[in-house]
Amino acid sequence: MPAQATCLTAPWTTTTGDLRAYVRRARTAGIDKTVVLALFNTDYAEANAQVAKVVAQRPGRLIGFAFVHVARDAGRIVEIVYTAVTRWRFRGIKIPGHEALPTREVCETAGSRFDYILRAIRKAGPHKLV
């Protein structure tokens, strides 16, 4: 595990973990809001439903982001995001950037509902700040 992620132990490996220890550390550090999103999954509609349960435990502190896979969820991204927005009040979209670029479907869906799209990127080799 990378050094900067050593504090990210359970419950980060499951959506059923106990967040009390994290909430205490966050409060001590002055963090009052935290974005929560699904782990990599083969069914993001179900994974987002699990995240919604976690967010519902602390709605004033936790913010849900809908996770969609641009290829596997193609054609149903609007449906997945609509559920996340209307039912669970999620406020952003997360897409796995190492597998595919954001599609028109993702961007149009996000643009009509969210201010945020979170895309993870993985770049090989040394990083250069410009």
pLDDT digits (tens, 9 = 90+) for 102-117: 888 988 888 877 766 7
81/122 Cα distance (integer angstroms): 25
Q: Is 94 within a domain? A: yes
Contact 19, 31 (CB under 8 A): no
- The 10s digit of each residue's pLDDT in 1-24 is 333 333 444 444 555 567 888 889
C-alpha closest to that of 94 among 108, 111, 106, 82: 106
Domain count, the chain: 1
Q: Is 14 within a domain? A: no
Q: Is 66 within a domain? A: yes
Supply the range of the domain harboring residue 91: 33-119
> Is this model's pTM higher than 0.95 or not?
no
Q: Is 27 within a domain? A: no
Q: From residue 64, how far is each of 37, 92, 114, 122 by CA, in Å?
A: 6, 7, 12, 23
